[in-house]
Amino acid sequence: MGQRKPDSLQGTIDLLVLKVLLRRGPLHGYAITTHLETISDNALRVEEGSLYPALHRMEEAGWVEADWVVTDKKRRARVYRLTESGRKQLEAEEQRWKQLSEAVASVLKFA
């Protein structure tokens, strides 16, 4: 039996979801997941068990707002969009990511 690929986004999900919503506009959860997997050539995976709790947490924090809509396929979907507070949080997350990636690069270079 094959082993499931683990969620590779632990610790970065807020940054990535907020960035996708900034660039792509309002999306439902499945579209966010599909977009992340597509643009990363399937290197980044978001499991439902990580995505939806993160979206709910971001909604409670006021970073995203959500509405129920009916899709082209006549299904109900919850669509998330970035708020002004979410834009500010995205800036903070991007700064944290930059600092972290620079620190990791230093360790890899000099360790």
Per-residue pLDDT of 71-108, as tens digits, reads 888 999 999 999 999 999 999 999 999 999 999 999 99
User: At the top level of CATH, which class does the domain 13-110 belong to?
Assistant: mainly alpha
Model pTM?
0.86
Residue 96: the pLDDT is: 92
15 in Cβ contact with 32 (< 8 Å): no
Domain-wise residue ranges, the chain: 13-110
Pair of tokens at residue 27? 């999306």
72 in Cβ contact with 79 (< 8 Å): no
Per-residue pLDDT of 41-55, as tens digits, reads 999 988 989 999 999
- Give the CA radius of gyration of the chain: 16
Pair of tokens at residue 7? 């969620």
Pair of tokens at residue 95? 């700064």
Give dist(CA 90, CA 79) in Å, integer.
Answer: 19
